[in-house]
Amino acid sequence: MSRELELIADVKSLIGEGPSWDSKNNCLYWVDIVGRKIYTYYPETGSVHEINTKKYVGCIVPKEGGGIALAMQDGFYTLDNGDAVFTLLAQPPNYDPFTFRFNDGKCDEKGRFWAGTTSFFEERNNAKLYCLGQDLSVKETLGNITVSNGLGWSPDNKVMYYIDSPKREIYAFDYDLETGSISNRRVVIDFHGQHANPDGMTVDEEGMLWIAHWGGHQVSRWNPQTGSKIDSIPVPVSRVTSCVFGGKDLNELYITTARIGMDDDQLKEEPLAGALFKMKLDIKGLPTHCFRG
């Protein structure tokens, strides 16, 4: 299959992030974290719908039964179909939304919503990874994080993968799907030689990891068993933020990007910074799971 990167939406996001595919409604969701927006792309019509969140929004997932769930600046929210009101579901205990904001996140196969934070003040090792259960309880699962980012699970759900971007390492944990517990943390990919920070991530049906390069003009495919890089998709934007498989056959890789912090000269060189892209591949991804709370 010939591979061609397609421009889907030139929305000029400050930080486009957190993409997820809604298979029931055949649409893609993603956010602009700092621009405080939710986007929905409908491939059948090519239209893009925009909602202003009025506060920082880190990631978005479809909600079982309809609507969406989000991790925003100060906690987990829901937005039901046809409703313009965001409803707070839960906040982590002793959480300070003026120091931290939620960043990347997604749901596991059981419908738990995992999302992590980062500090507004770029403090190191003070952020956390949380898990919102179906009962709307919030559990802290990891600490000593700087920028909580990419998440994913192996096809058999026995391994969870995780990124803390500045550390430039991709971690794996043994994962218990029934309880949502993680253990046996280890490094499976060393990203130091990529001259970029690993950002968002998704997993394909063969168990390979697709990782966005913040500062690296690409999304790359890795084998977590060997730690080797096996493929790369060039992107005409340096700040590549995340990716997810979508489309009716889950063989279309959607890629989000950012333009925050770029000066006029950089934006002239990268006029599509902040846009949403897509590439059709000969490999299928794993589905985006819905929040079941």
Q: Which residues are catalytic?
A: 199
Cβ neighbours, 10 Å, residue 228: 10
Outline where 67-130 has alpha helix (H).
none
Do residues 62 and 29 touch, judged by C-beta distance below 8 A? yes
Encode burial over 48-79: b for 16+ CB neighbours within 10 A, e otherwise: beebebeebbbbbbbbbeebbbbbbbbbbbbb
Pairwise CA distance, residues 5 & 146, whole Å: 32
Query: Is residue 110 exposed (0-12), middle (13-18) or buried (19+ Cβ within 10 Å)?
Result: middle
Pairwise CA distance, residues 77 & 87, whole Å: 5
Do residues 215 and 166 touch, judged by C-beta distance below 8 A? no
Do residues 30 and 16 touch, judged by C-beta distance below 8 A? yes
Q: Is 157 helix (H, G, I), strand (E, B) or coil?
A: coil
- Quick one: tokens of 138? 């919030």
- Quick one: tokens of 271? 């006029």
- Quick one: tokens of 289? 């799971």
